[in-house]
A and B are shown apart, each in its own frame.
Chain A
Amino acid sequence: EPEVTQTPSHQVTQMGQEVILRCVPISNHLYFYWYRQILGQKVEFLVSFYNNEISEKSEIFDDQFSVERPDGSNFTLKIRSTKLEDSAMYFCASSETPQGTGYEQYFGPGTRLTVT
């Protein structure tokens, strides 16, 4: 069964450093998403991406965040200058369409980011 993959599974970085979290969505999916889950808290939407541009973003997704689809398979989330409060699990998801029967978002296993 096709699945979303994410690398690395765990990333440790120092405050102020840049990190890039990588995701490979399901191959025939067109819509891509990043979510964040601070430890013990709820899952929060960050950004959605379609047709090589951001279609929607939340208040969390400020100027230090960016997303990119550098090639036909990868979807990346970059945090330019990490802060302690960026420590969280980051989930990538993809879907065929954003609505109707194709709406189901398939989530990756997550990348745990620890900022020290």
Chain B
Amino acid sequence: AQKVTQAQTEISVVEKEDVTLDCVYETRDTTYYLFWYKQPPSGELVFLIRRNSFDEQNEISGRYSWNFQKSTSSFNFTITASQVVDSAVYFCALSEAAGGSYIPTFGRGTSLIVHP
């Protein structure tokens, strides 16, 4: 069974601070995908990144970066120089390839509040 843990329920930072959102996952599958989604106050889900289990390269996209470490089953997300517009709930998700399902399991989300 797959499981995603986002231990941080809420994080509060001041603008321009760096912040890291943690995601730890459990899976028995060797082939899987990891995702991050952003849910702003307006409620929609915005796709941020997908990573497959065979690609452990860290990724940077502007102020966003992701650190995938299979050894610790973690896929952490860092926002550099945070801005007020980054305030949202961020969800980490995992989907396994077993049985061809690929249906993602979401973590409970981390609410990020960036104060001006």
Contact = CB atoms under 8 A, between A and B. Distances in A.
Contacts of A33: 103
Nearest to A110: B43
B108 A42 contact: yes
Max chain A Cβ within 10 angstroms of own Cβ: one of B42, B46, B106: B106
Interface stretch (A20-28, A77-85, A97-105): A97-105
How big is the B interface, by class?
A: 20 to 34
Nearest to A107: B45
Interface residues of A, number: 21
A110 B100 CA distance: 26
B103 A103 contact: no
Contacts of B95: 103
A110 B44 contact: yes
Interface stretch (A11-19, A43-51, A65-73): A43-51
Interface in B19-38: 33, 37
Contacts of A106: 47
Interface string B47-86: 1001000000000000000000000000000000000000
Given A43-B91, A99-B97, A104 B102 contact: no
A109 B43 contact: yes
Contact of A41 (B44, B46, B108): B108
A107 B100 contact: no
A42 B100 contact: no
A89 interface: yes
A48 B43 contact: no
Given A42-B109, A43-B91, A104 B47 contact: yes
Given A41-B108, A104-B47, 4 more contacts: A42-B109, A43-B91, A108-B44, A110-B43
12 contacts: A33-B103, A42-B106, A43-B45, A43-B91, A43-B106, A98-B102, A99-B97, A99-B102, A104-B50, A107-B37, A108-B44, A109-B44
